[in-house]
A and B are shown apart, each in its own frame.
Chain A
Amino acid sequence: MSSSYPALNYKVIAKCSTTRARASILELPHGPVEAPVFMPVGTQASLKGVLPEQLDKMGCQIMLNNTYHLGLKPGKEILDTIGGAHKLQSWKRNLLTDSGGFQMVSLLKLATITEEGVTFLSPRDGTPMLLTPEHSIDLQNTIGSDIMMQLDDVVHSLTEDVRMEEAMYRSIRWLDRCQAAQKNMESQNLFCIIQGGLNKRLREICCTEMMKRDTPGIAIGGLSGGEEKTSFCEIVHTCTGILPENKPRYLMGVGYAEDLVVCVALGMDMFDCVYPTRTARFGNALTRNGTLNLRNRRFKTDLSPLDEECQCPCCLPKEKGGWGVTRAFMSSLVSKETVGAHLVTIHNTQFQLQLMRDMRSSIIKDCFPQFVKDFFLKWHNGNRSTYPEWAVRALRLVNIDLLEG
């Protein structure tokens, strides 16, 4: 199961014999990406508080930038002069850029969407601006990301069907325009985005239409809006049932640990989310036993590391070459020192990357179902009664029964 495009060779190297999970590898212009993969988000060409070289050392093979933000600062002209975003941030690995449409709608109160594109007021000076599929691709060509995303018509997943259907068909038309505008086929990939909200019929139509357009990879969009998790999983399940096996599948904006595990089981390969890094800045450390809120009083004299099993430099003791950071010390820094935020960000990023690597190796060994069960048991501290209903249901769709055995 593989596919080959000028800027992407994709190969599934192992498939779980129970679920739809797969381990695969994407050969991209800036090196290989081993999937399932979590992509940290460097909104403005920087993961907050972590140097590009630190991220590289953690083994991160691909990170995200936001087209919309880079278009504002430093702007297209500067990016053109410098020669793209890799060069700007001295990042040697792969970059994925979103199209900018998501930010338009989520950040700007005044975005209006027409067939032509998204009209919004520039946050710089308030002048009306228009972002069309052509502009978006032009900007992403300038940025030089290894994976570009099409401009799509993003609507909230709870929007009613008429508007949703319009958005879905418009996204297909916009993909055509994006493909026509794309310049650097040799060095950049364009992924399409499946829309259609929580409506299975729309998702099916969209999958079929998008597949005809033969993009090197396929993303599922419009699902991170906090919709009912059960329907969310059903939609993912519907899509992975239709999408071709030989192409990477990217679930946009998903990054909670439980969601990652479930969606990998449902057959997704790539994920991104600001959650792990944003929550780090508020003093929440991710561990295999759930999230620790370091502002909590009980950590003030707790000299254990954030996570006993974690191999990140924060958690490793000084004797083993780490920094021996204790919960007590972290708790004294949280929301007071930037370094406190940096340390938790490093830890959380490492947690995400490690979680994906662990899933990958369990898929290769074909013991992924057991991994899923162990993960949930630990995450809920051995208490099955707190397992979320949606996760139990979703995993049943792919032949794992969390509550059994």
Chain B
Amino acid sequence: MAALNACYPSSARISSVSLKSKVLQTPCFIFPTSKGTIPHLTPDNINDNELPVVYFGLEDSLDLLEKSPIFTAEGEIDKWVAGTSSQSILVAPRRSTPLPSVSAGSHHIQILTSSGLKKLTNEVYVKAIIKLRPEIAIPLNDNPSNAPGVKRKPKMTEKSITWTDELLSGLQNNQLTEKVKVFFPVPNVEAPYLDPLIERFRENDYKQHISGLACYGNLHSIPSELSVYPKIFLRPLLTPLAILQSIHQGADIVMADLVNQASDSGIAFTFAFPPPVEDLQNIKLELAWDMWNSIFAADLSPLQPGCSCNTCQSYSRAYIHHLLQTRELVGWIMIQQHNIHVFHNFFSGIRDSIKAGNFLHDTEIFKKIYSSNFPRATGLGPRKRGYQMDLTDVQPVENKPNWVQLKPETNNTEFSHTTQKKEKVQEFQESELPERDTTVGNFADTYAAISDDQSGSELEENLFAELDDIDDSTYRESRMQSLKEEFQRVSTAKEKGHMQYLTVENEREVMDITTSSKRVVIHFFHPDFRRCKIMDAHLEKISKSHWETKFVRIEAANAPFLALKLGLKVLPVILCYVDAKLVSKLTGFTDLGNNDDFDTPVLEFWLLKWAAIEKLKENNSLGKKSIMGFKDTKNESEDSDFE
């Protein structure tokens, strides 16, 4: 692992790192996984020549610390990675660009798992490495996201040494030193704080068993005595130029986070190294293309003509553009494949350039002819999941739904009273959940149905516990929050008399009701009409399960003004108001099949059609067996992009 070819006056160098199963030619990159997956790619879409080593942040799988399945189920780390069988795996305590955490103790650091912050002790971490046997391990280390204070800095170095020592002895006791290569974690502190390393690295065990350095800080700070070690540079690099510069400063292996970021944004790489010959006058070449741009809508050429990646061999820009526009997951698979391929070639180009002694020159040209930044992402990323989630905070919904639900327009000026009351409507607007979550919805329904029998808080507790059982996802926190909000909505609705089917005495009150609840269904009846009684029976039933809507009835004779205004001649009449606007009117049973013995679901379905109810409810006979899109509402609709 010696530097074979120094490239004066740059520290860029060609070297090789021997792992158990392969020899890495450097400079190269390591690809970050998220929960053991290369984002978007199933193993058959991974070319393992291009991704010989992947990075696994153990915090991804330590929800329950040593009780996590990754500990309790048999098998090495490869059981927890969706990769190819020849890929090598690096395990580190945290993700490659971890979310902020600050605190650490003398025996632990804080990690962020999908079930929240946890304390990871070195004892547990060493156990994990011994059990999982990755080809590369970075020992536990303390690298806070905020700048550490003067008192903490020397401790960071001390901890790196102590924790590395413990790992090394653990590996020795288990005869794993050949299998697991250890890269010493150099903390992010200035050079003087790293002095203790020089002594330590002179000792035999380090000489024998430390294979390289994992650099969390500046490459300048690394003591020159240690420069012979291969260096993994773990700071985020956002542009190709930043990568070139870090290699210039002596990085041998860098992290490829920028590939994931670009792919998620629909950005397809077009850069190459060494850069194309300079024959353009002051025109900067783009580093990449934003595939959301509609100039690609009918473009049948590949992403990058001449590219030999799988995507460019088979698919067109037009298709990829279409897939992004429709937010089809396959679009991101294609861009990810292409970007990895370009990135891989970028590094072979770097190695060739260093070998040829042109690295500095080529870097200069690269800087001159390429834009300094990627084009700004204009489109949305995929639905946020795992690796894209910032767990430190409840996120606003960034991904708006692709399709809008159109509310019918009420052009009819007859209903002018609604516009007059508009200001008032604003005041009474109910808070809406940003995104429909069916689990939350189902729980809220249960809550609505039984909250009268049990005390509210006790019931909440029970439901939360049940949620725990089915759900330990990253959404849990925000889901709990939504659930609380949803329960609040249920309570508010109940206070307003939802879930009851009441008779209103005068039309004044009717108008007030239409503005105080978001959804209102009004039945104009005649006490002697048979069909009105049938309607009552159905509405009574529906009102019990649809807590989100207020159901009332009024005798038409008590509403002379409205009856005249709305031209009510035939009864029963059902009016649906949403956001204080009349959205639909049902006269008689015409839309229900003109039949006296229609089923309640038929009416429910009609109400849904006008958004007068939120959804068909599960406990209802129609919940599970209904027309088209509503089949099996239980858990299928969350993601049902309109199939």
Contacts and interface: CB of A to CB of B under 8 A. Distances in A.
B332 A338 contact: yes
B470 interface: yes
Contacts of B627: 105-106, 156-157, 225-226
B423 to A, nearest CB: 25
A337 B37 contact: yes
Output the residue of A156, A158, A225 with the most chain B CB within 10 A. Answer: A158
A82 B318 contact: yes
Nearest to A229: B625
Interface in B84-109: 85
B380 interface: no
A278 B61 contact: no
A336 B114 contact: yes
Given A81-B298, A109-B405, A329-B82, A339 B75 contact: no
Contacts of A45: 319, 322-323, 326, 328
A313 B323 CA distance: 25
Contacts of A126: 406
B314 A123 contact: no
B631 A226 contact: yes
A226 B475 CA distance: 31
Contacts of A162: 593-594
A295 interface: yes
B326 A51 contact: no
B69 interface: yes
Interface string B38-57: 11111111000000000000
Interface string A66-96: 1001000110001001100001111000000
A279 B634 CA distance: 11
A282 B404 contact: no
Contacts of B611: 109
A74 B605 contact: no
Residue from A43, A106, A336 whose CB has the most chain B CB atoms within 10 Å: A336
Given A160-B593, A329-B79, A338 B73 contact: no
Nearest to A322: B43
A89 B449 CA distance: 48
Contact of A109 (B34, B73, B406): B406
B635 interface: yes
Interface in A181-217: none
A160 B626 CA distance: 15
B285 interface: no
Nearest to B583: A109
B77 to A, nearest CB: 11
Contacts of B470: 295
B473 interface: yes
Contacts of A398: none
B408 A339 contact: no
A337 B385 contact: yes
Contacts of A41: 643
A89 B469 CA distance: 41
Given A336-B35, A340-B37, A156 B329 contact: no
A135 interface: no
Interface stretch (B4-12, B354-362, B522-530, B596-604): B596-604
A109 B609 contact: yes
Contacts of A102: 628
Interface stretch (A11-19, A243-251, A297-305): A297-305
A337 B408 contact: no
Contact of A51 (B61, B330, B605, B625): B330
A337 B386 contact: yes
A300 B38 contact: no
B246 to A, nearest CB: 29
A278 B643 contact: yes
A343 B40 CA distance: 10
B610 A78 contact: no
A230 interface: no
A179 to B, nearest CB: 26
Nearest to B605: A156
B625 A225 contact: yes
Interface string A230-259: 000000000000000000000001000000
A393 interface: no
A78 B314 CA distance: 19
Contacts of A340: 37
Contacts of B386: 333, 336-337
A182 B605 CA distance: 35
B329 A336 contact: no
Given A90-B314, A329-B82, A160 B594 contact: yes
Contacts of A302: 73
Contacts of B80: 329, 332
B28 interface: no
B73 to A, nearest CB: 4
A1 interface: no
A333 B642 contact: no
A380 interface: no
B382 interface: yes
Interface residues of A, number: 80
B512 interface: no
Contacts of A43: 641-643
B474 interface: yes
B73 A328 contact: yes
A325 B82 contact: yes
B178 interface: no
Contact of A160 (B79, B333, B595): B595
Contacts of A335: 385, 473, 475
A325 B42 CA distance: 11
Nearest to A155: B627
Interface in B599-636: 599, 601-602, 605, 609-611, 624-629, 631-632, 635-636
B36 interface: yes
Contact of B38 (A47, A333, A339): A339
A110 B584 CA distance: 11
Contact of B626 (A82, A121, A226, A342): A226
A310 B193 CA distance: 57
Nearest to B383: A338
B42 A339 contact: yes
Given A225-B625, A329-B80, A337-B37, A301 B72 contact: yes
A386 interface: no
A133 to B, nearest CB: 20
Nearest to A341: B329
A160 B316 CA distance: 48
A46 B330 contact: yes
Interface in A26-63: 41, 43-54
A149 B275 CA distance: 52
B75 A303 contact: yes
A394 interface: no
B262 interface: no
Contacts of A108: 406
Nearest to B609: A109
Contact of A163 (B404, B471, B593): B593
13 contacts: A43-B643, A106-B627, A110-B408, A123-B406, A158-B599, A278-B636, A281-B639, A303-B75, A323-B42, A333-B35, A338-B37, A339-B38, A342-B333
Interface of A: 41, 43-54, 66, 69, 73-74, 78, 81-82, 87-90, 102-103, 105-110, 121, 123, 126, 156-160, 162-163, 224-227, 253, 274-275, 278-279, 281-282, 295, 297, 300-303, 313, 318, 323-326, 328-329, 331-333, 335-343, 346
Given A82-B298, A160-B595, A341-B329, 9 more contacts: A78-B297, A81-B298, A106-B627, A156-B627, A158-B601, A282-B638, A337-B37, A338-B329, A339-B42
6 tightest CB-CB pairs across the interface, nearest first? A226-B625, A160-B593, A106-B628, A339-B37, A274-B643, A301-B73
Interface of B: 34-45, 61, 69-70, 72-75, 78-80, 82, 85, 114, 297-298, 300, 314-316, 318-319, 322-323, 325-326, 328-334, 382-383, 385-387, 403-406, 408, 469-471, 473-475, 593-595, 598-599, 601-602, 605, 609-611, 624-629, 631-632, 635-636, 638-643
